[in-house]
Amino acid sequence: MNILMLGAGGIGGFLAAKLAPAGHSVSLLARGAHLAAIREAGLKLVMDGTETVIRPDAVSDRLEDLPPADLAVFAVKGQDMEAMIAAYLPHAGPKTLVLPFQNGVDAPDLLAAAFGDARTLIGVARIFSNITAPGVVTQYGGGSAFTIGDRQGSQTSPEVAKVIEAFRSAGITVPERADVTVDLWQKFLLFNAVSGTTAAARCRFREIRANPELMEFFRGLVREADAVGRARGVDLPADAVEKTLQFWSRLPDEARASTAHDLELGKPLEVDRICGAVSRMGRELGVPTPNSAAVAAVLAPYRAGTA
């Protein structure tokens, strides 16, 4: 396939470094020092103690310099989605499939409004990876998985099957799911709470576990995302909240969400796609979301980043 990565960070860079050696034509939209380093020495993926260096077929910070794609992977932060959609729309082919890997749940809706349901896929990324130096992406913690489906949550359509086969041919794990939409929301239950609590309280998991009030706030964020998902018709398991909390209990004390990390560095925040989205959807559906609304309000002054 001809695959375009709209973003060459932790997810886009990882996928590019896996797909290119498998024979797929990979192009990258990158910027700044990361772009310069890739142009000079290629993109390096550090994983499991090994290094892989690829030379993408094209890399640029200008969409007009990149070739047509069968598949465009939206691997940008949530706050950049609408701008990226508007920028890429004139460059997409009539049959280009669009696949988002975001921390939130509304990226497929945004893409479908621009490209149509038939060309929009759902993606769920489970990976710990980020840019560790210009031109270098490092993957941590062993395994990773990328769930892919169509707008109905199915993996059976020819278009989805082709993308899944492309990923699997590159050694990328793509789990089989009866309903990818459920998988998307199950991840979101956890991320909404992890993002909201570690960013708003400026803390790591250790402090949440040690503070009963903060722990209850965390649980409330999980319950709110669960309630909103069910109100939207997502067929979440009856024990989704309990399973989310059980999984969270096994995560390391030092961990925190990328939202908290970005806040500390003064970077723009994707709060409008995480707790802000839960709060907005809750208002639309008549579902109370006081904790999510509180996080959105507390982080609102920093959504565009700080000096």
108 in Cβ contact with 164 (< 8 Å): no
Examine the pLDDT at 142 and tell me if it is beyond 80.
no
Instruction: Please state, as a whole number, how many other Cβ atoms lie within 10 Å of the Cβ of residue 55.
Output: 12
Contact 52, 28 (CB under 8 A): no
How does residue 49 score in pLDDT terms, banded at 50, 70 and 90? Answer: confident
Determine the pLDDT at residue 105.
Answer: 95
Confidence of residue 140 (pLDDT cuts 50, 70, 90): confident
CA distance 295 to 273: 12
* pLDDT tier, 121 (very low <50, low <70, confident <90, very high otherwise): very high
- Which pLDDT value is given to residue 255? 86
Q: For 221-257, what is each residue's pLDDT tens digit?
A: 999 999 999 999 999 999 999 999 999 998 889 888 8
Strand order in the sheet with 136-150: 50-54, 43-47, 136-150, 121-133
Is residue 37's pLDDT more than 80?
yes
pLDDT at position 128, please? 85
Longest alpha-carbon distance in the chain: 53
207-219: average pLDDT: 97
pLDDT at position 161 over 80 = yes
Mean pLDDT on 62-80: 95
pLDDT score for 107: 95
pLDDT at 261: 87
| pLDDT at 52 > cutoff 80 | yes
> What pLDDT does residue 48 have?
84
Percent of the chain with pLDDT over 90: 90
Percent of the chain clearing pLDDT 70 (strictly above)? 100
What are 256-306's pLDDT values in tens digits? 888 998 999 999 999 999 999 999 999 999 999 999 999 999 999 999 999
Statement: residue 4 has pLDDT above 80: yes
Tell the burial category of 278 from Cβ atoms under 10 Å away from its Cβ (0-12, 13-18, 19+): buried
Task: Map the chain to HEC letters.
Answer: CEEEEECCCHHHHHHHHHHHHHCCEEEEECCHHHHHHHHHHCEEEEECCEEEEECCCEEECCHHHCCCCCEEEECCCHHHHHHHHHHHHHHCCCCCEEEECCCCCCHHHHHHHHHCHHHEEEEEEEEEEEEEECCEEEEEEEEEEEEEEECCCCCCCHHHHHHHHHHHHCCCCCCCCCCHHHHHHHHHHHHHHHHHHHHHCCCCHHHHHHCHHHHHHHHHHHHHHHHHHHHCCCCCCCCHHHHHHHHHCCCCCCCCCHHHHHHHHCCCCCHHHCHHHHHHHHHHHCCCCHHHHHHHHHHHHHCCCCC
